[in-house]
Copies of this chain bind each other. A is one copy, B any other.
Amino acid sequence: MPAVPATSHPQDATSHPGDVEPDTERPDYTTAVVDLLGALAYGEITAFTRMAEDAELAPTLLDKVKLGRMAVTEFGHFELLVDRLEQLGADPEAAMTPFAAAVDAFHERTAPSTWLEGLVKAYVGDGIATDFYREVSRYVDEETRALVETVLQDAGHADFVVTTVRSAIEADPRVAGRLALWGRRLVGEALSQAQRVAADREALAALLVGGLAGAPTVAGADLAEVGRMFTRLTERHTHRMRRLGLTA
């Protein structure tokens, strides 16, 4: 079973334990990576069950199948993450548990009541999460980053959502106002749950702003960079809403 990170870095605390003083006061890189993969894995399994459930709202069988296929893709990603957690010697269930409350709360507060709300959630909600995880993955080792990239890949379903939402707005322009509000609610809930996670999970937060023993990038981002990251996340969200024909 390979140690963490499996790729060799000069600062790698696990493969060269003598190089870095064990610092019991400071969470280490391994904890941060297990947190990252655990959060992603819980997000994927939950996205799977929720999307499959939302597929029941589909107006046609074909639409149900499309959302179903998106859900199955998420399940496949979940299994990749679980495999990697096991490779790292982590217990996948223990790795996911700290993120259950925040992810569940997000979904409970954003349960779609219509098919279109479900589609916007699948596109916009996943989009925010994807952007955020991509930003975080800039500070991890190459192998972890490659896995994160794989599970965050859009399986080409976004076009289906964009086309469906745009033609619904064309058919009834009042739809746009309601869905724009819905998009703002999704962002608000996502950010508030992300804050909750950041406050709880010291290692994950430290990964972003540096200061982790054994991290391949010792510095992480400085606070100005964190600010720029949030600007980028907001810009990309606005871009997605615009693609749907909605005001962010």
Contacts and interface: CB of A to CB of B under 8 A. Distances in A.
Interface of A: 42, 45, 48-49, 52-53, 55-56, 60-62, 64-65, 68-69, 71-72, 75, 78, 82, 92-93, 96-97, 100
A42 B60 CA distance: 12
Contacts of A96: 61
Nearest to A92: B61
Copies in the assembly, this chain:
2
A110 to B, nearest CB: 15
Given A49-B55, A53-B56, A71-B75, 15 more contacts: A42-B61, A45-B65, A45-B68, A48-B52, A48-B68, A52-B52, A53-B53, A61-B92, A61-B96, A61-B100, A65-B78, A65-B82, A68-B78, A72-B72, A72-B75
Most buried by B among A56, A93, A97, A100: A56
A76 to B, nearest CB: 8
A115 to B, nearest CB: 13
